[in-house]
Structure 1
Amino acid sequence: MLAFAEPVPITGDIVRHAGIIGWAARNSAKPGRSGPEAWVIQATPDWSTTHLEDSIDSVAERLHAALADQADRPLPTPIYRTAHRWRYARATATDRGALWNAGMRLGAAGDWLLAPRIESAWLSGRLLADQMLAG
C-alpha cells in the first residue's frame, strides 16, 4: 500500500495487468472513504512467487516503481508505504461457482470457487442462494 498527500496522476481508479502489477486500486476513491490518496497494489502471482522472500522494502519499492510507470507524470512522494506477503491468498478457482447439497441442506460459497477477487465471493454467494431457492 502506498499513501500520498496529493492525488496520483493516473487516469482511472484501477490498474490491471500492467507489468508486475496484477491489480491496483485507488482505495481513496471508494465510496465513503476519506483521508489521503491511497493505493493498494497486488503483484502478479508469478512475480510474487519469484520474490516471496524479498524484503518488505524491496517489494514496496518495486511496486511503487511499477505504479509510477502507469502515471501521466511523476508520482508525489509517498507519506506511507508498506508491503505484506499473503502466501496463501490466491486460491485456484474451480468452475463450480458455489456448492449446494440439497439433501443435507449444506452449501459453500467463496472466491475460491470462482476467482481470487472479493467480488467473486459475492457472486459465489449469489449463486449459492439461487441454488438454495431452486431446491
Structure 2
Amino acid sequence: MTNYPHPYLIQFSKLGAPDIGYISVGENAKDPLPFEVQRVFWTYYTPESIVRGRHAHHRTEQVLIAAAGRIIVTTELADGTIQSFRLKDPNVGLYVPPSAWHTIQYSHTAVQLALASTPYDETDYIRDYEIFRQRWAQRV
C-alpha cells in the first residue's frame, strides 16, 4: 500500500503587484503540485452553517484552494492526528491525501477550487467514519 504524507500547505507562486493584480500558477507533475490533475471542481454560495466534506478517499489526492473568502478544513488521520487549516489566500493550497477524513466550513462568500488526482468515481469515497477508521487503521 502507498504511504501518503500528512496534509500540508502548498505555497503557489504569486506574480504581480497590488496595482495590477496577481496570478498564481501550478503545473502538472511540477512543484508545487504533488500529482497530475485529472479533475477540477469548485464550490460556492455554501451557507456558513453547512459542514461539507465528511469523507475520505481510497485513492484520490486533492489540493484545496480558497479562491475567494475563507475556508476552514479539518483533517483527521486514522492514527487520530487532527489538524485544522484556515485557507484565505488564493496562492495557498492544502494537500489532502486519500488517508485523511476531512470536513470543510466556508464563509458565505467563499469559493473553493479543488484539484483532484483522479476523475470522479463514487466508489473511491469513504463516507462512513467507522469504515474510514477501519480501512486506514491497517496502515498505522
TM category, shorter: under 0.3
Q: Which has the higher contact order (CA 8 A, sep 6+)?
A: 2
Report which of the two structures shows the higher radius of gyration computed on alpha carbons. 1
Select the structure that is richer in helix: 1
Select the structure that is richer in strand: 2
